[in-house]
Structures are given as structure tokens and as C-alpha cells.
A and B are shown apart, each in its own frame.
Chain A
């Protein structure tokens, strides 16, 4: 989901002509509202982007509070609403939230593992006006999927993917790839073909939250990526017009950073289970954040007036080499959270950039992953699964 907002600008067919598309300049307002309804989740994926200390979040927003957030964001111009988590299916009021959001005119996206979903619920959501369901898979084979998810969910996911399609939704499947499953990419894509998926997102793990903690065990090898990319491109070609395959290149193997969130406070607004509003879902851990909450302030005040959302808007906050870089309007210096996690200063260039004096940290992280993979299996660090017990243990709650 870290790149979810990016589609917003990538309007296809922006050609001229009398009746062609003229995509207008981006207006600065929230377009994307990611509603992290809950941190509850029946899965335990070790690459989860939720914060490590999620177990301390107790007070989830009420139904009324969420609806108020939806109304405010919609009035400001947000069109996309993502129901996320945790597993949003664990919220008993989900259908009501969907209905209200749809009534407000949102395009409503449910981002789910499929666990907790059944055919009756899929139909109920359809009736409530849900526009899109994205089912995430951990792998293409039952054993590996269940191992990574930390639960026995694979068969059910397959059934749910079919139910989604049967109810007239476009079938959107998301696979998060990493060292342990990326070699299955052809099987993953075959599974998607078999399920008649319309869109497939192959997203390489991004190292935030739990994924950062497990980075050495998740980092793919260069050869794995080269192979995976070639296969993904072949399927893209072969399935043109039938199935759209999005392949998200892992930034640790890039020379330039991603345009994270399409720029800080530019189009993307995350509201976490307890009502904290963030410019991206990993921003909670940055130092000096005031963490405005929708219970205390209006969404408008938060978006336009809060220190947090203004912190990295524009270019004045930048240090070198970003400040004088001719590519800064393209990638906004990359990801603030990654810059902070790796260099200790959120105003630094994202070290993914080869112009960054800290780029060696990325290279070292890749090397550490490769070294870990070279060890005998018995000596490799175990994956730490995302669950309340580990959250409490690691965060000292």
C-alpha cells in the first residue's frame, strides 16, 4: 500500500486532441484517505507495515467518528477511500462504514486478507456499494502461504477470490514478494491466470515496521529479482488486454528513490485506528511529530494547518544533495521515513539515491541480506511474526 497513491497521477492516455485527455495540474488536497480501521489481524505476516508497538493501541475510533472523518475528507475533495488495517474485516461495523462512504461519493476499496470474509459478506458489501476488493496472498502454494501468514488461510483465500469475481467485482490480487517467495513468481502468476484475475500487483516488500525488523530474512537476491522481473514482463506481454500485471521494483536495488506518497502531504492522508492522522502510515515514528488526532482537530485543520503535514511540503526543508538536485520535483527526495530510519535524520536524502552520501547503508543492507541467506538454514535468524505477543515483547509494552 505504500505506493497506493501513485496511481492517482498516472492518468493513462493523457494525450491531446479535441476529445483527448488533458490531465490538469495536481491541486493540493487530499485525494486518498487510507482508513486503518483496526490493528487486529488474524494473520501474522512478518513484512507487515504496521508499527512494531501496535499492541499498545487500545481505543479504536467509533463508527460515528469514522463517518465524520469520511465526511470531512470527502468535502475537501478526497475520492479514494481505502479500508485497511490490520484486517478491516474484524470491524463489525464495516458494512455500515462502506455504505456511508459510498453514499458520500467515495470510490471504496477494501484491502483484505480474505480471512473473515465469506460469500454472504461479499454480496452484502456489494449491496452497500463497495467498489473494489483487493485480496492479498502471501504465496502461491498452500504450505508457503500459510507459513508466511502464520495461519491456515490459503484455501479460504482462493475461495474468496472466486467469490469476489462472482459478485461482479474486478478481481484485484496482491502478492507481497520477498526472498522466501519471489522464486515462485511464475506459479503466483499462473494462479492469478487460473483465478481469472483482472489486476495483479506484485509488490516487493518495503522495509517499514515489521518488515524492517525482518529485513535480513526478507531481502531478495539480485539474481532472484532479475529472474522475477523477466518473468513478470513476459506475463505482462502475453496477457495484455486480459490481466494487468503491476510489478513494483524494490527500491533497495534502485539508484533513485521512489516518489514516496507522491510527495509529503500532497494527496495522501492516513488515519490510524486510534484517530492519529499521518501523511503516510509509517510516519508515526519520525521524531518531532505532533501526531494530530481527528478526535481533537478537524481534518481540514490537520491537513492544512498541522506541523506534521507541513513539515516536508515543498522543497525548503531539504538538505544537500536534494536541495540543488534537478530531480527533486520528480522524487521529492524519496521517503522521509526511510531517510530517518537509516540515516537518523528525516531531512536527508533517501539513501536509496546514489547521490546520497549514505547510499552505502542501502548497499550494506543488501549485503547483510545476502550474507544471511548464505548461512545454513539452521543458523539463519528466524522470521519474527507480527502478533500482539511479539509486539509487546519487542516494544517493551
Chain B
């Protein structure tokens, strides 16, 4: 697990069988997969929303997130989350 998967040029995409959507009843973004659901906190939701919308590199993803969140320093958080999401098989690299 100590191996890192993502760098600035990687393109994260949702893994096969996973669906990302907003759930009004849960008031949050969720990931749906065979017979299950993960509720996402707002930060995770914002990252996966962009992964789901279009294929782009992690660097581009971070630029977009910074624009949306007033230039906040979020590189480390994004990488940490992507690794965790990959470890859970939610995403893979294109």
C-alpha cells in the first residue's frame, strides 16, 4: 500500500461499475456500486465530481479545485484522497 499510484500526469477515472451522483435524500454526493453505497463528505465529493465529469490529469484537477476554492493549498489532500480512493477500488488510472 505504500506504493504511490498518482502523479501530476495521471488521469484518474471511476472504476468500472461505480456511479457517482448527488443524492438529495442524503444531502451529499454518493458513489453507488453493486449492492452498495458510499456517502462522500463535501471535499471527497468535490474531487470525485471532477473525476467523473471529464478525463483530466491530477495537475489539471488541482488547478480546477484551487479556482473553485479560492486558491486553497489542497495538493496534499487531493493526492491523499486519490490514493485512498484507489485503495478502495473506487478509481483507477486511465
Which of A's residues lie within 8 Å of B, judged by CB?
4, 7-8, 10-13, 15, 17-24, 27, 29, 31, 76-77, 79-80, 82, 105, 107, 109, 131-132, 134, 168-170, 172, 198-199, 244
Contact B84 A77 (CB under 8 A): no
Residues on B with C-beta less than 8 A from A79 are 23, 30, 32, 37
Contact B84 A170 (CB under 8 A): no
Q: Mark B12-55, 1 if CB is under 8 A from A, else 0.
A: 00001101010111101010111111111101100100000000
Docked Cα-Cα span, A17 to B84, in Å, equals 11
Docked Cα-Cα span, A283 to B35, in Å, equals 21
Contact A19 B43 (CB under 8 A): yes
Contact B26 A19 (CB under 8 A): no
Give 10 A-B contacts (CB < 8 Å), ordered by A residue: A11-B39, A13-B87, A18-B80, A19-B41, A19-B74, A20-B80, A80-B37, A82-B35, A107-B32, A107-B37
Query: Which residue in A18, A20, A80, A170 is a CB contact (below 8 Å) of B36?
Result: A80
B10 CB to closest chain A CB (Å) equals 16
The prevalent SS among residues of B at the interface is: mixed
Contact A11 B38 (CB under 8 A): yes
Contact B35 A19 (CB under 8 A): no
Residues on A with C-beta less than 8 A from B30 are 79
**B94 on the A face (CB < 8 A):** no
Contact A198 B38 (CB under 8 A): no
Interface centre among B30, B39, B81, B87 (most CB of A within 10 A): B39
**B7 on the A face (CB < 8 A):** no
Residues on B with C-beta less than 8 A from A7 are 35-37
**B11 on the A face (CB < 8 A):** no
Contact B44 A21 (CB under 8 A): yes
Residues on B with C-beta less than 8 A from A198 are 16-17
The prevalent SS among residues of A at the interface is: loop
Docked Cα-Cα span, A134 to B35, in Å, equals 10
Which of B's residues lie within 8 Å of A, judged by CB?
16-17, 19, 21, 23-26, 28, 30, 32-41, 43-44, 47, 74, 77-78, 80-81, 84-85, 87-89
Docked Cα-Cα span, A48 to B19, in Å, equals 31
A-B interface, 5 closest residue pairs, ranked by CB to CB distance from nearest: A77-B25, A7-B36, A19-B81, A170-B17, A107-B32
Contact B43 A132 (CB under 8 A): no
Contact B34 A199 (CB under 8 A): yes
Apart from A17-B80, A24-B39, A172-B34, list 16 A-B contacts with CB within 8 A. A7-B36, A11-B36, A13-B38, A17-B77, A17-B81, A18-B77, A20-B41, A20-B44, A21-B38, A24-B28, A76-B25, A80-B32, A107-B37, A132-B17, A134-B34, A198-B16
Contact A131 B16 (CB under 8 A): no
Q: Report the nearest B residue to A1, measured CB to CB.
A: B35
Query: Which residue in B26, B34, B39, B43 is a CB contact (below 8 Å) of A18?
Result: B43
Contact A131 B41 (CB under 8 A): no
